[in-house]
């Protein structure tokens, strides 16, 4: 294809721009900060978020949203979930024709409790939902750009849209599977970040593999319960966007959300942890939204509830894990 617009110049947006550069004649990245865009163009890399990986010649970076979107056949959104609505609203005048909008943002919007594809559809004021796709799966940015084999899923209400993205994005090292279950894919992508914080807490407390494995498994059960209640397919959560992404994020050393959990388990305050991070740990804001979704939908989410109490109610992490073990016994 000719042109791809990538909204967001963090590690994930940069990684995708580099990985997809052989598939498009031109890729225009939008960076929120003019100084960041200028630095990336001067150094030909994202020195802050993804150092050591050169930007290909057909990848440019600009703080001009209209310029980045001009003529784009596909638009890939890779911005933090808290900023997605505002950025998509700002993009309205610059989106022409009928491009496919692909969300690579993982999270649940606080307040309205919407999935990212819902946020995009509402923010773009009538943009056809069938032209919105979501991309998710077990991927770390550094490993993608190192050319290591990876597999992801692309979902859309119209399976033909998912297939179009699949053909456009597939590379020798990036394999895409299609799905029609946007609900399951997006909830799996968002909620695994919360469970990963819990897995990190286990490690930070000095607990071993038994504890982490139990938390991951029961965390997947929670994610599946909520996704099914909201119209998702349970089978989706046993795939790349569910189990695959959860295992990676809950166990991988490159996981920001796991890192936050480890630090909490070691006794650090959340404010101090965040002050030392340059990248966003989406699970923190998602936890509050997920906790509210569980209450609204009357779905039991014990791990997510305990993570909410740790993050927002100053609960001791060790006590939170103990409370999970002391819950009434039940069947699996």
**What does DSSP say about strands 150-156 and 100-103: parallel, antiparallel, or unpaired?**
unpaired
DSSP string, 174-205: EEEEEES-HHHHHHHHHHHHHHHHHHHHHHHT
Spatial contact of 222 and 302, defined as CB atoms under 8 Å apart:
yes
Residues 127/128/131/137 CA torsion (nearest 10 deg): 80
Residue 81 phi/psi, 5-degree rounding, is: -60, -30
Longest dimension (CA), the chain: 60
Question: What's the rounded Cα separation, in Å, for the pair 288 and 285?
Answer: 6
Residue 271: how many other CB atoms lie within 10 Å: 7
Question: What's the rounded Cα separation, in Å, for the pair 55 and 114?
Answer: 33
Q: State the catalytic residues.
A: 192
Question: What's the rounded Cα separation, in Å, for the pair 186 and 290?
Answer: 12
Helix orientation angle between 283-297 and 209-229, rounded to the nearest 10 degrees: 50
Structural tokens at position 22: 């052989």
| CA-to-CA dists, residue 186 to 71, 269, 290, angstroms | 28, 29, 12
Name the residue among 128, 327, 116, 125 with its Cα closest to residue 241: 116
Q: What three-state secondary structure class fits 298?
A: coil
């Amino acid at each position: 294809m000719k042109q791809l617009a990538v909204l967001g110049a963090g590690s994930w947006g940069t990684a995708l721009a580099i990985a997809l550069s052989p598939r498009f004649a031109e890729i225009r990245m939008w960076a929120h900060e003019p100084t960041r865009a200028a630095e990336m163009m001067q150094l030909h890399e994202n020195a802050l978020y993804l150092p050591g990986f050169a930007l290909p010649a057909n990848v440019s970076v600009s703080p001009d949203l209209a310029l980045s979107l001009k003529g784009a056949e596909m638009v890939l959104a890779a911005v933090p979930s808290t900023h997605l609505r505002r950025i998509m609203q700002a993009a309205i005048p610059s989106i022409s024709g009928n491009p496919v909008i692909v969300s690579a943002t993982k999270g649940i919007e606080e307040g309205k409790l919407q999935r990212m594809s819902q946020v995009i559809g509402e923010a773009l004021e009538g943009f056809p939902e069938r032209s919105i796709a979501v991309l998710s799966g077990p991927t770390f940015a550094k490993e993608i750009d190192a050319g290591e084999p990876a597999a992801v899923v692309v979902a859309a209400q119209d399976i033909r849209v998912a297939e179009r993205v699949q053909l456009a994005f597939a590379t020798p090292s990036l394999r895409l599977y299609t799905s029609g279950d946007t609900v399951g894919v997006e909830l799996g992508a968002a909620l695994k970040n919360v469970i990963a914080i819990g897995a990190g807490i286990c490690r930070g407390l000095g607990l071993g593999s038994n504890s982490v494995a139990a938390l991951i498994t029961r965390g997947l059960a929670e994610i599946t319960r909520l996704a099914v209640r909201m119209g998702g397919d349970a089978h989706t959560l046993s795939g790349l966007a569910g189990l695959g992404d959860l295992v990676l994020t809950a166990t991988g050393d490159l996981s920001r959300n796991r890192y936050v959990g480890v630090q909490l388990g070691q006794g650090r305050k959340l404010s101090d942890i965040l002050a030392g991070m340059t990248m966003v740990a989406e699970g923190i804001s998602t936890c509050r939204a997920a906790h509210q979704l569980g209450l609204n939908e009357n779905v039991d989410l014990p791990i997510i509830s305990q993570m909410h109490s740790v993050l927002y109610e100053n609960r001791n992490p060790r006590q939170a894990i103990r409370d999970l073990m002391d819950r009434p016994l039940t069947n699996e």
